[in-house]
Amino acid sequence: MTAREAVAEGTGALEAGRPGSPFLDATILLAHAMDISRDALLARLPDALDDAVLGRYRALVARRLAGEPVAYITGCREFWGLPFRSDPRALMPRPETEHLVETALSMLPPPRQGKRLRCHDAFAGSGCVGIALASERPDIEMALSDASGPALELCAENAAALLTPDRPGGFPAMLRGDILSAASAPLDAIVANPPYVSSALTREILGAGSPEPADALDGGPDGLAFYGPLAAQAFSLLNPGGFLAVEIGDEQGPAVAAILEAAGFSDARIVRDLAGLDRVVAGVKRA
Ligand code: GLN
């Protein structure tokens, strides 16, 4: 069988069983089975595959069909152009979460000689948000926290692999704690991608075979459980002029904007993702 035929076989199987991005998934899994990059695979589609590679590939496709995310199967997911390690200790990084990074970058004051901005990433999981921010802004003193010990381990592995230890803002602190309990004032910026999926939908997602950690998804009956405490704690930790930016579910924009304003934030605004869906809410603690 050629690589092209194997890709067609896998794409067909995935299309039926795990709709989404079957061709992309099949090519990533075949490249992984061949131990080459996806670009290299696309240049080698006419090549014949040996049986060992084909066997490995079919086993990977079967894992995907059983519900395992591609990122967990390959152990890696690109986010903000950086290769994050990804496994069931934390949610895999989602492309739409890049809007949270983008929003925070657009709200941060420009770097100033001799001044370190202090930033906290709560519900850090794999660390993708805080690590991407730290990679863009070496002047930021970054702390990342999570209630889950295993998630924090993964986060630390990613920080060690993706950030230079001698960055001006120092190596990020990894802190164990729920919501913002581990954060220390004064902060200039707080970012968070809290669990925001309703409990019912979380059960459905896990029932369909996803091995992602339930605690990272489940935001209570309406998915909004964490935003109130998060906004209240953030408001008291921030410097005047500082901001809170959070990822949200696409139907939560107005509700989360209202929660931020009730906590004292001004100018709460909703940012849409590339699909045109509400994805981020940000508010400022007015000076
Ligand atoms: N966007 C994720 C999903 O729908 C949820 C992420 C989260 O709860 N923070 O699977």
pLDDT digits (tens, 9 = 90+) for 52-103: 999 999 999 999 998 899 999 999 999 999 999 999 999 999 999 999 999 9
Q: What percent of the chain has pLDDT over 70?
A: 100
Closest ligand 1 atom to 247 CA: 9
Closest ligand 1 atom to 97 CA: 1
Burial of 196 (0-12, 13-18, 19+ CB in 10 A): buried
pLDDT at site 261: 98
Instruction: Say if ligand 1 is within 6 A of residue 214 CB.
Output: no
Model confidence at 193, pLDDT cuts 50, 70, 90, reads very high
Tokens found for residue 199: 């409990």
Tokens found for residue 5: 């035929």
pLDDT at site 215: 95
pLDDT value at 19 more than 90? no
Q: How far is the CA of 219 from the centre of ligand 1 (A)?
A: 10
Pairing relation of β-strands 82-85 and 76-79? antiparallel
CA-based R_g, the chain, Å? 20
Instruction: Say if ligand 1 is within 6 A of residue 193 CB.
Output: yes
pLDDT at site 257: 98
What average pLDDT does the chain have? 96
CA atoms within 13 A on the CB side of 30: 32
Residue 122: what residue type?
A
Which candidate, 42, 8, 39, 40, places its Cα nearest to that of 26? 8
Q: How far is the CA of 47 from the centre of ligand 1 (A)?
A: 39
pLDDT at site 210: 85
**What's the whole-number mean pLDDT along residues 233-244?**
98
pLDDT value at 200 more than 80? yes
The maximal CA–CA distance of the chain, rounded, in angstroms, is 66
pLDDT at site 209: 82
Closest ligand 1 atom to 196 CA: 8
Instruction: Say if ligand 1 is within 6 A of residue 196 CB.
Output: yes
Peptide bond preceding 186 in cis form (omega within 30 of 0): yes
Q: Which residue has the higher pLDDT, 17 or 60?
A: 60
Q: How far is the CA of 196 from the centre of ligand 1 (A)?
A: 6
pLDDT at site 6: 97
Measured at the alpha carbon of residue 242, what is the angle toward residues 142 and 224, in degrees to the nearest 5?
Answer: 85
Q: pTM score, two decimals?
A: 0.93
Q: d(Cα 236, Cα 263) in Å, to the nearest integer?
A: 9
Backbone angles phi, psi at 255, to 5 degrees: -65, -45
pLDDT at site 283: 98
Instruction: From 77, 86, 91, 121, give the residue whose CB has the most ligand 1 atoms within 8 Å, as the site to mutate.
Output: 91
Q: In a 3-state reduction of DSSP, which class is residue 70? A: helix
pLDDT at site 125: 98
Least confident of 10-19, 89-98, 272-281: 10-19
pLDDT at site 114: 82
Which pLDDT tens digit goes with each residue over 210-221?
899 999 999 999
Instruction: Say if ligand 1 is within 6 A of residue 217 CB.
Output: yes
pLDDT at site 208: 83
Which pLDDT tens digit goes with each residue over 33-46?
999 999 999 999 99
Q: How many CB atoms lie within 10 A of CB 251?
A: 12
Q: How far is the CA of 23 from the centre of ligand 1 (A)?
A: 23
Backbone angles phi, psi at 110, to 5 degrees: -65, 155
Which candidate, 56, 7, 4, 52, places its Cα nearest to that of 28? 7
Chain-centre distance for alpha carbon 2: 35
pLDDT at site 280: 98
Report the number of secondary-structure helices (H) and strands (E) in the chain. 12, 9
pLDDT at site 173: 97
Model confidence at 20, pLDDT cuts 50, 70, 90, reads confident
